[in-house]
Structure formats: structure tokens, C-alpha cells
Amino acid sequence: MNEPNASSPPRRTSLYSRHVAAGARLVDFAGWEMPIQYRGIVAEHETCRGRVALFDVSHMGRLDLEGTGVAQWLDGLVTRRVTDAKVGRIRYSLVCREDGGVLDDILAYRLPPEGSDAWSLVVNASNREKLLAWFGRHPAPNVRIVDRTFDTAMIAVQGPRALAVAATWLGWDPSTLAYYTGRIVDHPVGRITVGRTGYTGEDGVELIVPAGVAEGVWDRLMEIGAPDGIAPAGLGARDTLRLEAGMPLYGHELTEERNAACAGLEFAIQGADRNFIGRDSIVAAKERGELPVRVGLRLADRRPVREGAEVRRGDATIGVVTSGTFSPTLQAPIAMAYVQADAAAVGSELSVDIRGSLHAARVVELPFYRRSV
């Protein structure tokens, strides 16, 4: 598929017709015409928390990395070590600039047979072209990048009944996969990738399938899941779900302007004994200290707070909200924010400025919501 020029309308995923048929409200998101909601954000959120929801996430970039030395090359571009990953592992990591600013957060899939150097990446839709350019500026002679975004589709099946629904379609039980592992398998619809991953705080899988069969896969999953109350969910519910789960969102908690050391993602930054782009700046930022800290806030009243609101302690501004919503699960306003380190302790009493009015807020442990296993 050809890339659109600047004046082109938004792209459409292979599942566009299904969204229209389901009455979705469509919006331009990162250059794609995507469903923000169908029946309503709260209803879709509750479907995912209580039963099973189906998400079209085909707008996410999907890149295959092939050639000799792929793991070593990729290891120099991401914050988390990948050279020791066994086949089947999926690792969350960051791609940073030299100054430690975050270009994107990604999933790196190590799914080919033993001995193969091939990897796959899932990247944010808004950053796919930026990352392709960045990788092009740091080439390896024997590494080839193949953009599979337009010849594949990606469907997330999420919720307490997600694995059962997926198992019927797959013909095998995906609960045999550990979290953040996956497989490439042959299915009657073609070769597919199955990852026990998601962005909702619930159990489930994400499926990468050939674009030409996506509608049939969607329809079959909806049919299988009907007795379990399956329903499609849009980007609005995806956002409230990930916020309850304390998961950062690129462009909000993660940006090029904010050093990766601030994000509270220590598990995804491994630099003590390896080198990668941005490492020195991240290490230096940690050594200097006084970094802002990503925290969870729970407000005392029911008025939600939005991105950009100032966080205060007394009369002093000590931070900024990066994401906020009214939590359908907790029935209370919640937010993530960056605050001064000395205000980040759980239990700290702060306030947020909502349109000129101060509202009490308390620092709480992240995530806000943790599913029962």
C-alpha cells in the first residue's frame, strides 16, 4: 500500500467496514480513521473488565527486522537488553534519543526458530515513520527492515473471558503462554502471531493476522464470544483501561522532551553493563537526582482532571498532570502526574488546579487497578 501524502485523508484499517456497521464514532487518530467508541466508553470499559472486548489496533506499526546481527543492532537502539531473550519472549522497551528523550515505547518480539536473528517490533502509530527514519540513520549493513503495517491487521482480545474465546478460534489454549510471550503459528486463515499481551490491565491476547482475512477473523471472534457478552471497544475505553492499569501513554507520560529516567520504568532500562543510544544521558540524569517522579493521584471529589493541570503543594506548583479521567471501575477521578521527588510518597496530600479551582488530591500507589489472578 502506498503512503498517503500530507493532503490525503486518514488511512483505514482492514476492519473499517466492521466499525461502520457497528455504529462506531470514528476519529482521525495518528493519521488513521479509528473508532473512539461504539455504545459508549463506560459500557465498553466495563465489558472489558467484566467479560471480553475486541479492539482493532491495526493502526499500530508492525516492523520485521531481518538479517545477520539483528539482535546486536537492536540492542544498541533500545533501553532494555534483547540479546539474551529466548525464543518466544516479548519485551517492552524504549527507543531514545542521545539526550535520553523517548522516541517511542515498543514491544520487541523474539519469535522465530532458534538460530534465526529475526525480530519483530510493534510501535505506536504516531511514531512509525519517525522510527523508520531513526533506524535508517543508524543502519547495520546486514539488517533489513520490512514494514508489515499495511499487509497485516492486529486485533486485541481482552478481558476475563478473552483466553477462552481465543482458544476456541485458535484451536489451542493460549493460557499455556506465559505473560509477554508469544508464538508464530499456522492457522486456517494463514500464518499469524499470537502474543499474550495487552494494554488494558486484563488478561488476553493480541493477534497479528493477514490483512485480507481480518474481517473474517473479527466476525468469527464475535460469534464465538457472543455467549460471553463480547463487544467491540474503541480507543476511548482503551485509554481509560490503560490509565487504571497505570500504563504510560506515548505523548503523555512519555515524550521526546522528558528524559526516560523520569518514567518509573526501571525494568525496561538496563544500562549498567551495555551501551545503547541515550544511555549516558539517562545514567547522568539518575546520578544528578532531583528528577520528577511519575505518580498516581486520586481526587477527593468527583470532578475529573485533565492533562496539563498544575499539581500544587500549598502555594507552590510542584508538578503537572499527564493523563486523567473518571475511573469507571473505582468511581472516582484518577490521574497520572509528574511531581517533585519530595512530594511523590504514597499518601502525600496535594491539590490540582482545575480551571482555576483547587481540588484535593492524594498520591496513591500505581496501578490504580490490578485484576485478580
pLDDT tens readout for residues 296-308: 999 999 999 999 9
The pTM of the full predicted model, rounded to 2 decimals, is 0.96
Name the percent of the chain lying above pLDDT 70: 97
- DSSP annotation of 6 reads T
Domain 260-364, CATH class in plain words: mainly beta
**Lowest-confidence pick of 26-40, 245-259, 269-283:** 269-283
**Lowest-confidence pick of 5-9, 99-103, 126-130:** 5-9
C-alpha–C-alpha distance, residues 24 and 35, integer Å? 6
Residue 152 scores a pLDDT above 50: yes
Q: What mean pLDDT comes out for the span 45-50?
A: 98
- Residue extents of the structural domains in the chain: 16-60+150-244, 61-147, 260-364
pLDDT value at position 4? 43
Cβ atoms of residues 307 and 282 within 8 Å: no
C-alpha–C-alpha distance, residues 74 and 61, integer Å? 17
Domain 16-60+150-244, CATH class in plain words: alpha beta
Name the percent of the chain lying above pLDDT 90: 94
Closest CA to 217 of 310, 294, 155, 270: 155
Q: What is the pLDDT of residues 70-84, one digit of tens each?
A: 999 999 999 999 999
Q: What mean pLDDT comes out for the span 316-330?
A: 98
pLDDT value at position 7? 60
pLDDT tier, 52 (very low <50, low <70, confident <90, very high otherwise): very high
pLDDT value at position 273? 86
Q: What is the pLDDT of residues 3-26, one digit of tens each?
A: 444 567 899 999 999 999 999 999
Please tell us whether the domain made up of 61-147 is placed in CATH 1.10.260.40: no
pLDDT tier, 348 (very low <50, low <70, confident <90, very high otherwise): very high
Half-sphere exposure of 198 (CA within 13 A, CB side): 28
pLDDT value at position 1? 33
Cβ atoms of residues 276 and 79 within 8 Å: yes
Closest CA to 277 of 92, 98, 83, 94: 98
Strands (E), the chain: 25-29, 32-37, 53-56, 61-67, 89-96, 102-110, 119-123, 143-147, 152-158, 182-187, 190-195, 204-210, 231-232, 293-299, 310-313, 316-327, 332-339, 349-354, 357-364
Q: Is 206 exposed, middle or buried (0-12, 13-18, 19+ CB in 10 A)?
A: buried
C-alpha–C-alpha distance, residues 299 and 334, integer Å? 6
Residue 2 scores a pLDDT above 50: no
Closest CA to 93 of 236, 274, 297: 274
- Summary mean pLDDT of the chain: 95
pLDDT value at position 114? 66
Q: What mean pLDDT comes out for the span 105-115?
A: 88
pLDDT value at position 29? 97
**245 vs 289, higher pLDDT:** 245
Q: What is the pLDDT of residues 201-239, one digit of tens each?
A: 999 999 999 999 999 999 999 999 999 999 999 999 999
DSSP helix/strand/coil, 228: helix
Cβ atoms of residues 95 and 88 within 8 Å: no
Residue 265 scores a pLDDT above 70: yes
- Interstrand relation of 349-354 and 332-339 (parallel, antiparallel or unpaired): unpaired
Q: What mean pLDDT comes out for the span 139-167?
A: 97
Question: Which amino acid type is present at position 340?
Answer: Q
Same-fold call for 16-60+150-244 versus 260-364 = no
- DSSP annotation of 303 reads -
